[in-house]
Structure formats: C-alpha cells, structure tokens
Amino acid sequence: MKLDDDIHNYYEHLVLQRVTELGLDNTKSPDYLADLCCLALNQVPPRYIRYEVDMAFYLPQSERNQMEMNVTYAIDNAMKYLDDTDKTSVSEKAE
C-alpha cells in the first residue's frame, strides 16, 4: 500500500472546490494558491479517506454542510491574511 496514492484528506477536495468556485484559480498566482490552500487546510481538522465515494454515501448532509462552512471560513481567513500581508510588504517597500 502506498499511502500517498491510497489515502488523502477529504478537506483537500473541498478547499480546491471552493477555490474553483471563487474563480481564484484564474486570477491568483500559483504561489498565492499554494499558500492559500496550506493556510486554509491548517485551520480545519483532517478527515482522511480512501475513496471519494465513501464520503458521498456515508457522510450525513448536516456534517457535509458543516465541513463546507468550515472551508469557507478557513479560505476567507487565509485570503485576508495573505492580502493584508501583501499590503504590508508593499507599504514597507514604499517607505
């Protein structure tokens, strides 16, 4: 068994889905997106699975809704952090 092929964190899927919904994959740099995903994923608990189908059939809708709200909150926080950090570094360079 290769862990990197067989097991993954379901939140990764939800974070990438939210990034796509927001259109960030079309407007932000790859570095920004990588930082955003890391910051967001560090704010949510891991949920390891082997197969996506397991989550589709066995996850109660209320829990899925909560997970999606967690991701929305985590991405909003991560974007705010990255955008504030970028503004701070730009103003420091101007001084």
- The token duo for 56 is 């589709």
Question: Is 94 part of a structural domain of the chain?
Answer: no
Domain extent, residue 69, equals: 6-82
Q: What residues are paired with 49 via a beta bridge?
A: 8
For residues 35 and 50, which has the higher predicted lDDT (pLDDT)? 35
Tell me how far apart the alpha carbons of residues 24 and 29 are, in angstroms, rounded to a whole number. Answer: 9
Residue pLDDT, tens place only, 46-73? 999 988 887 878 889 999 999 999 999 9
Question: Is 90 part of a structural domain of the chain?
Answer: no
Question: Is 72 part of a structural domain of the chain?
Answer: yes
Tell me how far apart the alpha carbons of residues 10 and 53 are, in angstroms, rounded to a whole number. Answer: 11
Question: Is 88 part of a structural domain of the chain?
Answer: no
Q: Examine the pLDDT at 80 and tell me if it is beyond 70.
A: yes
Number of domains in the chain: 1
- Note the pTM of the prediction, 2 decimals: 0.84
Instruction: Say if residue 66 is exposed, middle or buried (CB neighbours under 10 Å; 0-12, 13-18, 19+).
Output: exposed
